[in-house]
Amino acid sequence: MCRSCSTTPPYILEAKWQRKPVDATARAKIKERLESRPPSARAVLVSMSGFTAPVRNSADFHASVVLLDHSHVAAMASGLISAEFLFHRYLAVTGQRDGSYVSLAGLLPEPDVGPPPSFLRSSAQGINGFPAIPEPGVTVTHVLTADGTWTEGEISGLAHTGGSGLLWTTMSGMLRLDAATGRSSWTSGPVLCKGSALVTPDSGTLLHNEEAVLRMTDDQVHVVGGGLKGHGWLMSGPDHTAWAFTTPEPANGMAGTR
């Protein structure tokens, strides 16, 4: 398939849906087709099963063939990013370094945040003189107060990660906080997340970003599901399952997916 327009270079795209990772033969064939195309043409090789180690190693030094795998296709199909944005980010990233493969995490918008906030232990009288008014049977205690200079994004969710750990969701990124010590740090999570994260024994850390649900493992991003437009939130289900809910319109009720 070939695509071209006045503002972007033409692309030659070939997709492979095989059980085993694609080897160097497929990459060499599509690279040969570039010889009969204009110099501005780019080749794109999509493999749903990934690529062999020699292909990945070669991609670190050669930029002639763009390599996309299952994670990139899932990101576009789920509504996480558009095809136009994917290639825009690809060109931006590879323009600063060598290579023709960029992981999904490397293509997502990079957080642009300052230092993490510092926290102070709150007094028993409350924050800024406002007392805590608990409901019957509920005890409320102020633990920490962020310094007044911290305004990094709107906080949309709070999750418990075990022990004294907390995970704050902000439009600027994910903030990890130890409530016992007051220490905080930015995570490698993407920006523009919605609602609270969900930490489960089986799935790890799940995030709702754009229209997709993402799973974070170290510095990797995996698309779990998508098509979740509007306001959404994550919830634990039976047997360590995770559920994602969304409300596209207030009058249309609630739709869920597992």
Return the pLDDT at 247: 78
User: How far apart are alpha carbons 88 and 74 in whole angstroms?
Assistant: 17
Asked if residues 117 and 146 have their Cβ atoms less than 8 Å apart, the reply is yes
Distance in Å from the first CA to the final CA of the chain = 35
For residues 194 and 112, give the distance between their C-alpha atoms in angstroms, rounded to a whole number: 17
Q: What is the pLDDT of residue 91?
A: 84
Torsion of the alpha carbons at 57, 62, 68 and 72, rounded to the nearest 10:
90
Helices 70-78 and 83-94, packing angle to 10 deg: 140
pLDDT by residue for the chain (258 residues), tens only, comes to: 444 444 456 788 899 999 999 998 988 888 888 777 777 788 899 999 999 998 888 887 777 788 999 999 999 999 899 998 998 888 888 888 777 898 888 888 777 777 888 887 665 555 555 566 667 887 777 778 777 667 666 778 889 888 888 988 887 788 888 988 888 888 877 777 888 899 877 777 898 888 899 988 777 888 988 888 877 788 888 887 888 888 765 544 444 445
- pTM higher than 0.85, yes or no? no
Please list, in sequence order, all residues whose beta carbon lies within 8 angstroms of the beta carbon of residue 124, skipping any fewer than 6 positions away. Answer: 142
CA dist., res. 227 & res. 252, Å (int): 16
Which amino acid, residue 73?
V
User: So what's the pLDDT on residue 138?
Assistant: 77
DSSP state of 218: T
